[in-house]
């Protein structure tokens, strides 16, 4: 399935879509005013150079994970399914969010067990470029490519 450019808010800032080099933008759909995305945390194999493959962890079959495009004012709903052999979460780095959506497992939300899905919902209050990463067993998960 192809991706679609983010909708520009009618009274928002001018917006230029992101060019994702060596990656792709995560597809989304609109449902009842919410922009919905699906992320799958899973083991991936990536060819680092011809004939040199690495076993990594990532999102939606790649490491690093796909770009999530949304603009200030969007309401986003992100379904995160865990296909890793251990629990995980996603922390939305640098974004002001309600405590339960911040992604710090065991502190602001429960861990996402293997085989389960957690739904993050929040409105984007700030424009910018942000990263996402796990806040569960960070030393392993981030070193594995997440």
Answer whether residue 1 is part of any domain: no
* Number of domains the chain is built from: 1
Q: How much is the pLDDT for 105?
A: 82
Q: Give the pLDDT of the chain (146 residues) as one tens digit per residue.
A: 444 554 555 555 666 666 777 778 899 999 999 999 999 999 999 998 999 999 999 999 999 899 998 988 999 999 999 999 999 999 998 888 888 887 788 888 899 999 999 999 999 988 888 889 998 888 899 899 89
pLDDT in the model for residue 139: 87
Q: Determine, yes or no, domain membership for 92.
A: yes
Residues 6+ apart with CB under 8 A from 14: none
* Domain region containing 81: 29-141
CATH number where 106 lies:
2.60.40.420
pLDDT score at 8: 53
Q: What is the pLDDT at residue 2?
A: 45
Query: Given the structure tokens 């450019």, which residue do they identify?
Result: 5
> What pLDDT is attached to residue 3?
46
**Cβ neighbours around 31 below 10 Å, total:** 9
Give domain status of residue 23, yes or no: no
């Amino acid at each position: 399935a192809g991706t679609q450019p983010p909708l520009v808010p009618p009274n928002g800032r001018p917006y230029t879509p992101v060019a994702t080099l060596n990656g792709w933008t995560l597809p989304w759909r609109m449902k009842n005013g919410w922009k919905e995305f699906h992320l799958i945390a899973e083991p991936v194999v990536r060819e680092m150079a011809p004939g040199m493959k690495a076993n990594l962890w990532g999102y939606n079959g790649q490491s690093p994970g796909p770009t999530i495009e949304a603009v200030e004012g969007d309401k986003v709903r992100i379904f995160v399914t865990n296909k890793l052999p251990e629990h995980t979460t996603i922390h939305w780095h640098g974004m002001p969010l309600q405590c339960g959506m911040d992604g710090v497992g065991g502190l602001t939300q429960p861990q996402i067990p293997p085989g389960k899905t957690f739904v993050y919902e929040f409105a984007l209050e700030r424009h910018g470029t942000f990263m996402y990463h796990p806040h569960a067993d960070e030393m392993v998960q981030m070193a594995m490519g997440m």
